[in-house]
Amino acid sequence: MAGLADGRPGRGRTGLDGVSPMRIVVLVLTALLLAGCGSSRVVREGGSAPRASTPKPGQSVVVQRGDTLYRIASGNGISVLDLATWNNIAAPYTIYPGQRLRLYPGGRGATATAPSTGGGRQPVRPTQSAPQPPAPPPARSPFQWQWPTDGQLIARYVANEPTKQGIDIAGTGGQPVRAAADGVVVYSGSGLVGYGELIIVKHDEQWLSAYGHNRTRRVNEGERVRAGQQIAELGRSGAARDMLHFEIRYNGKPVDPLSYLPAR
């Protein structure tokens, strides 16, 4: 099962030299469609994993037999997406006993040390390092973004706020959800906890958009879509009301969609 520590290095684990950040993010997102792995454990294990994360600078955990990526992420207040991205875990996302997982984004700084297991020695505490501020969003985008659906804006993006990485648009169940720009569907499924029926469109090697809480998905992975094309029907899967959760990401990091969508 993808993500389960089985004592063996995953067959699909690959080196990431030369792989773009966007490719890593796309791999992380698409691999969470667990139907292709014959399991839905990541989605159904107890509780709801956070959609966004609270990094723990300088800290790490060591995988134990039976651990899953979801279980470790949920237990540390980190989203599955972020935990996989921070640790360069590629499809099929197998983790194995003894593997160290960093609980904070990569970069220079202190490296966490695994707890010692011998002779009653005390664990070495990791040196704390200050979290790095997120990079500002790019000033320009190569796309003419379009609103993905009609309706009232009920939640805005807030920088550095883990639970507000995009915008929420209220609407009527069944109304069209449209691609915000030209691209290719790289994910169409319900395997990412907290987003319900989700579609992710890759626009180029740096930009992607995500459309969550749909009632019905109308496109498949690998399908090319045009800006304004209907890709889903608005719904409430994984939400308390009919709404669309919409994100724009640049190199895997959320940016404010209202900085790119036309004023209305």
Q: Which of 209, 211, 212 lies closest to 239, judged by CA?
A: 212
Query: Looking at residue 63, what is its pLDDT?
Result: 84
Residue 20 pLDDT: 56
Low-confidence ranges of the chain (pLDDT < 70): 1-52, 90-94, 96-97, 107-139, 193
Q: Which pLDDT value is given to residue 138?
A: 56
Question: What's the pLDDT score for residue 94?
Answer: 60
Q: What is the dihedral of CA 37, 48, 101, 208, to 10 degrees?
A: 70
Query: Cα(123)–Cα(79) distance, rounded to whole angstroms?
Result: 26
Pairing outcome for strands 100-102 and 60-62: antiparallel
Contact, 155 vs 11, CB < 8 A? no
- The secondary element (H helix, E strand) that includes residue 75 is helix 69-75
One domain, residues 97 and 162? no
Residue 47 counted as domain residue: no
pLDDT tens-digit map of 64-79: 877 877 788 888 888 8
**Res 248: pLDDT:** 94
159-173 burial, b at 16+ Cβ within 10 Å, e below that, comes to eeebebbbbbbbbee
Domain total for the chain? Answer: 2
* 158 and 252 within one domain: yes
Asked if the structure places residue 255 within a domain, the reply is yes
Domain shared by 254 and 183, yes or no? yes
Cβ atoms within 10 A of the Cβ of 59, count? 18
Q: What is the CATH number of the domain that holds 88?
A: 3.10.350.10
Question: Residue 230, Cα to own-chain centre: how many angstroms?
Answer: 23
**Which domain-ending residue is among 36, 69, 102?**
102
**What is the rounded CA–CA span in Å between residue 131 and residue 13?**
28
Do 159 and 251 lie in one domain? The reply is yes
Which CATH number is 172's domain given?
2.70.70.10
pLDDT in tens, 191-247: 776 789 999 999 998 899 999 999 999 999 999 999 999 999 999 998 899 999 999
pLDDT at 116 (0 to 100): 39
Q: Let me know the angle formed at the C-alpha of 201 by 200 and 206, rounded to the nearest 5 degrees.
A: 110
H/E element holding 27? helix 21-31
If asked whether residues 94 and 164 sit together in one domain, one would say no
> Does some domain include residue 25?
no
169 and 231 assigned to the same domain: yes
Task: Round to whole Å and give the CA distance between 148 and 218.
Answer: 14
Verify that 79 and 174 share a domain, yes or no: no
Q: Is residue 13 domain-resident?
A: no
Indicate the SS3 state at residue 41: helix
In a domain, 112, yes or no: no
Please tell me whether residues 92 and 186 are part of one structural domain. no
Reported as type and span, the H/E element at residue 42 is: helix 41-44
Q: What is the pLDDT of residue 93?
A: 54
CA–CA separation, 95 vs 97, rounded Å? 7
Output the pLDDT for position 225.
98
Question: Nearest 5°: CA angle at 209, between 30 and 133?
Answer: 95
User: Which two tokens mark 234?
Assistant: 């608005």
Vertex 109, ends 105 and 112: CA angle to 5°? 75
Query: In the chain, how long is the greatest CA-to-CA distance?
Result: 66
**Enclosing domain of residue 171:** 152-259
* pLDDT on residue 108: 40
Query: Is residue 138 domain-resident?
Result: no
Q: For residue 116, with 0-12 CB atoms within 10 Å meaning exposed, 13-18 middle and 19 or more buried, which class applies?
A: exposed
Q: What is the DSSP string of 94-129?
A: ---TT-EEESS--SSS----PPP-STTPPPPPPPP-
What are residue 109's DSSP bridge partners? none
Q: Is residue 180 part of a domain?
A: yes
